[in-house]
Amino acid sequence: MKVVGAITDIREQINTLKSEGKKVAFVPTMGALHAGHISLIDVAKKHADIVVVSIFVNPTQFGPNEDFDKYPRTTENDLDKCKVNGVDIVFLPTTEIMYGTGERYFSIEIKELNEHLDGGSRPGFFQGITLVVNKLFNIVRPHYAVFGQKDYQQYRILQKMVEEFNHEVELVMAPIVREKDGLAMSSRNAYLSDGERQKAPFVYQTLLSIKENIQNGEDNLKLLLQHKRDELEAKGFKNDYLNVFALEKMWPAKELKKGNTYLLAIAVYLGKTRLIDNILFEI
């Protein structure tokens, strides 16, 4: 496994591999790798000959009051995991390599897809993500790039970005990997105290119970969601959003139509930790 920091080096290595006819799949991450990330690496392997993982805690996607400074950084451990799991190249740039030191002259405006969910709650978040993924795609120029359903809105926004900016990459979405008790794996789960960790599976249980209620014919969606939000608050969670979203624009669904697929998505705070989760379901 090669660990590369410089843009010219990774370009050269990937150009050589491509000239040998190799297909390249790319998994962008912020490190603190867990089984969710490893599952993306496995999906990448199925699509291509060469798997490239980037590890970069991207400052531009963190708001001023968010956890950039204390975001877990476990590089040595991450590199071991990449090696054991058959990654070919790790791109490990510094912030200076990615962004230089000077001011920036461009930002990407994202329209409707950015209004709700994390786009609505975290101003600037998806501008930071589209910026860094644009740069990473231009640096790595992969045939495939794998992203998790865990960040479904991210996937939708990047799908549109690839389309509108004519990136020559095919995006692949991988399912959410969960702990045994249902909690979606996340690097941020490391922030949870023991007590919080015990409560955390209630997030996924809530999603499953809403889905079941809807599929069993509950037609007052507004009331059902309000009841579930109250339940979460009573258990000590602080709601950010809990709603059913139509996939096209990622807007809250006003009514659910038979035969359609929707995203049921949640973001809550447990203490200081922000947890997100979602399920896709057909009605």
Give catalytic residues, as residue numbers. 37
Q: Could you give the CA distance from residue 137 to residue 168 in angstroms, rounded to a whole number?
A: 9
Smallest distance, ligand AMP to C-beta of residue 144, A: 13
Smallest distance, ligand AMP to C-beta of residue 56, A: 9
Angle between helices 75-84 and 35-47 (to 10 degrees): 40
By the 10 Å C-beta count (0-12 exposed, 13-18 middle, 19+ buried), 211 is classed as: middle
Classify 247 as helix, strand or coil: coil
| Residue 122 lies near ligand AMP (rule: CB under 6 A) | no
- List of residues 6+ apart from 212 with CB closer than 8 A: none
Query: Looking at 71-79, 103-111, 169-177, 208-216, which segment touches ligand AMP (CB under 6 A)?
Result: 169-177
Smallest distance, ligand AMP to C-beta of residue 187, A: 5
The residue among 33 and 214 lying less far from ligand AMP, judged by its C-beta, is: 33
| Residue 129 lies near ligand AMP (rule: CB under 6 A) | no
Query: Is beta strand 261-270 parallel, antiparallel or unpaired with respect to 238-246?
Result: antiparallel
Q: Could you give the CA distance from residue 242 to residue 225 in angstroms, rounded to a whole number?
A: 7
Task: Tell me which of 132, 169, 174, 265 binds ligand AMP, using CB under 6 A.
Answer: 174
Ranges within 177-236 binding ligand AMP (CB under 6 A) = 177, 184-187
Task: Tell me which of 176, 192, 207, 276 binds ligand AMP, using CB under 6 A.
Answer: 176
How many residues does this entry show for the chain? 283
Q: Which residues bind ligand AMP (CB under 6 A)?
A: 29-30, 36-37, 39-40, 147-148, 150-151, 174, 176-177, 184-187
